């Protein structure tokens, strides 16, 4: 790392770890400065945690490879508190930007993680690739991810964040699936803009979690994913979770589990004022879905987490089976203000689509064809 005034320049060392040089750049130029990580190959062998950035512009043109020392990362990745998750890299502060110029590549050696995880759930210590934490007034653009360790990105306790032109891909080439390689999850954050992303992942593409508000998502293409998701929320049940004012528009989902959906635990709080607009998809398991008791599919009608004022507008494409929508709202807090227009979903193998609905407003504009059982699963394995 070399410093000239307020500019810190990092070049590849050819060593087994470039993280110290990058951390030194953050220390010397992270306040009222510029950081340039020039083209070349860098190895990251240690966690990077920087929470005091201020008026800093970061330029990355190189390839950053996180090494595959699984035991190191399991022991040392940085806790982000949510559901015992942790991260390999955490950035926070005010007024900073990260520009990848379409050249920055973050490679997580994910295959090693997918193989050792063996299709299990959320392994403690398995690190999220990149986390914004207590970050305010942030711009991120032009970065590519390949084979992340876990979630690609996490935005927590942050405000006024714009993330544009990001390319993400987690694909396993072995018998083991990627498991939980979300594109992004927001939590305890507000005023977030996501535009022009392409995501291939084995889980939620864009997931809006508890206490997120004023989220705008536009022009995102998702492959092999859960596409546009609110949740999951309401766990633990003793802590209310809120999501308000979210717009997803101009979205494409290809061969995905769901397209435009909401998942909660039987908890407290609310989801209010969410719009899914211009969602087009091909071969999606169950495009429209609401569950108040995700994963356990029990105590479904005890949930007091209210879902209201949700709009689905111009939702078009093919479903894998004959269910276009499975909506079960809790009888303890029925859904109100659901609105549907321009819904054109056809089963890919022909026949008529079913729209299953329970405990929701009757003036939604959706032509419900039957009731939806409380324990209706998120993913189906055949026609209903």
What's the 3-state SS for 65-127?
A: EECCCHHHHHHHCEECCHHHCEECEEEEEEEEEEEEEEEEEEECCHHHHHHHHCCCCCCCCCE
Average pLDDT of the residues of the chain = 98
Cα gap 288→263, rounded to integer Å: 11
Classified as helix, coil or strand, 132 is: strand
Nearest of 88, 306, 53, 66 to residue 158 by alpha carbon: 53
SS3 percent helix, strand, coil of the chain, rounded to 5, is 10, 55, 40
Nearest of 300, 161, 203, 188 to residue 243 by alpha carbon: 188
The backbone torsions φ and ψ at residue 172, rounded to the nearest 5 degrees and listed phi first, read -85, 140
State if pTM tops 0.85: yes
Q: What is the DSSP letter of 354?
A: E
Cα gap 268→264, rounded to integer Å: 9
Residue 6 has what pLDDT?
A: 98
List Cα–Cα distances, 14 to 42, 62, 229, 379, in angstroms: 7, 13, 41, 46
Structure tokens, 364: 């939604």
Contacts of 283 (CB under 8 A, 6+ apart): 254, 255, 256, 318, 320, 348
The ranges of the chain with pLDDT < 70 are none
Cα gap 223→59, rounded to integer Å: 28
Residue 202 has what pLDDT?
A: 86
What is the separation of C-alpha 359 from the centre of its chain, rounded to a whole number of angstroms?
A: 28
Tell me if 42 sits within 8 A of 12, measured CB to CB. yes
Cα gap 97→76, rounded to integer Å: 26
348-365 pLDDT per residue, tens: 999 999 999 999 999 999
Cα gap 318→328, rounded to integer Å: 21
Structure tokens, 100: 């990848």
């Amino acid at each position: 790392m070399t410093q000239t005034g307020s500019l810190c320049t990092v070049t590849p060392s050819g060593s087994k770890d470039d993280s110290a040089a990058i951390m030194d750049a953050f220390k010397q130029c992270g306040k009222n400065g510029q950081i340039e990580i020039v083209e070349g190959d860098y190895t990251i062998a240690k966690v990077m945690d920087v929470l005091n950035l201020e008026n800093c512009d970061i330029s990355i043109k190189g390839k950053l490879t996180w090494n595959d020392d699984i035991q190191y990362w399991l022991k040392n990745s940085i806790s982000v508190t949510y559901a015992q998750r942790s991260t390999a890299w955490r950035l926070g502060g005010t007024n900073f930007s990260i520009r990848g110029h379409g050249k920055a590549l973050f490679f997580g050696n994910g295959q090693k993680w997918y193989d050792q995880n063996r299709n299990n759930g959320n392994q403690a210590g398995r690190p999220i690739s990149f986390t914004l934490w207590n970050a305010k007034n942030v711009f991120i653009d032009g970065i590519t991810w390949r084979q992340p360790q876990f979630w690609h990105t996490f935005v927590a306790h942050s405000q006024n964040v714009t993330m544009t032109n990001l390319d993400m891909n987690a694909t396993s080439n072995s018998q083991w699936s990627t498991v939980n390689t979300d594109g992004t999850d927001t939590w305890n954050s507000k005023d977030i803009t996501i535009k022009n992303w392409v995501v291939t992942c084995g889980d939620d593409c864009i997931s809006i979690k508890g206490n997120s508000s004023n989220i705008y998502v536009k022009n995102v293409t998702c492959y092999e994913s859960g596409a546009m998701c609110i949740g999951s929320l309401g766990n633990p049940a003793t802590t209310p979770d809120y999501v308000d004012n979210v717009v997803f528009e101009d979205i494409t989902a290809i061969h995905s589990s769901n397209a435009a959906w909401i998942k909660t635990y039987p908890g407290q709080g609310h989801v209010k004022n969410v719009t899914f607009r211009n969602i087009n998809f091909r071969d999606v398991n169950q495009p429209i879905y609401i569950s108040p008791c995700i994963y356990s599919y029990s105590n479904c009608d005890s949930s007091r987490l209210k879902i209201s004022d949700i709009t689905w507008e111009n939702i078009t494409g093919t479903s894998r089976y004959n269910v276009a929508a499975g909506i079960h709202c809790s009888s303890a807090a029925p859904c109100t203000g659901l609105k549907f227009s321009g819904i054109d979903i056809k089963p890919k193998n022909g026949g008529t689509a079913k729209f299953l609905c329970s405990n929701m407003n009757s003036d939604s504009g959706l032509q419900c064809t039957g009731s939806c059982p409380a324990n209706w699963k998120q993913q189906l394995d055949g026609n209903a």
